Amino acid sequence: MGITKTDLFDSKQNELAIVSKAFAHPARVAIVQYLLKANACINGDLVSELGLAQATISQHLRELKDVGIIQGSIEGSSISYCINPSRWLQIRNMLNELFDQYKDCGDNCC
């Protein structure tokens, strides 16, 4: 059926899944890494950087924007994208909270 049964899970689990899905494509990882490296805000010369069509890049940018990871501001006729600082930290904390839950159980695990 291809449809995720989101109602079976709590909001935190769904949020984690949505955020993870944003990173679940190498193109979006590459876009985020590029924005991190450039630090200053960059417009869509990602098209020449990555080897994908303009429409495809635009689509990936929108997905990242929808999740709030990046934000764009109009810069004349082009658009500057950059990491959303507060959202970035929030996601980082959310992931850390998950990964910190692991308690090493020695070798008596499985």
Q: What are the residues binding DNA (CB under 7 A)?
A: 1-5, 21, 24-25, 27, 43-45, 47, 52-63, 72, 74, 76-79
The token pair that represents 70 in the structure block: 């990046």
Provide the Cα torsion 47, 24, 9, 66; round to 10°: -10
Dihedral sign for Cα atoms in the order 93, 81, 29, 10: positive
For residue 58, give every residue at least 6 positions away whose Cβ sits within 8 Å of its Cβ, in sequence order, or none. 44
Q: Which is nearer to DNA, 59 or 96 (CB)?
A: 59
The token pair that represents 72 in the structure block: 């764009």
**Out of 2, 3, 37, 76, the residue judged to bind a copy of itself by CB under 8 A:** 37
**104 contacts 97 by C-beta, under 8 angstroms:** no
Contact code string over 53-92 relative to a copy of itself, x by CB under 8 A: ------------------xxx-x----xxxx-x--x--xx
Interface contacts to a copy of itself, rule CB under 8 A: 4-6, 8-9, 13-14, 16-17, 20-30, 32-33, 36-37, 39-41, 50-52, 71-73, 75, 80-83, 85, 88, 91-92, 95, 98-99, 101-105, 109-110
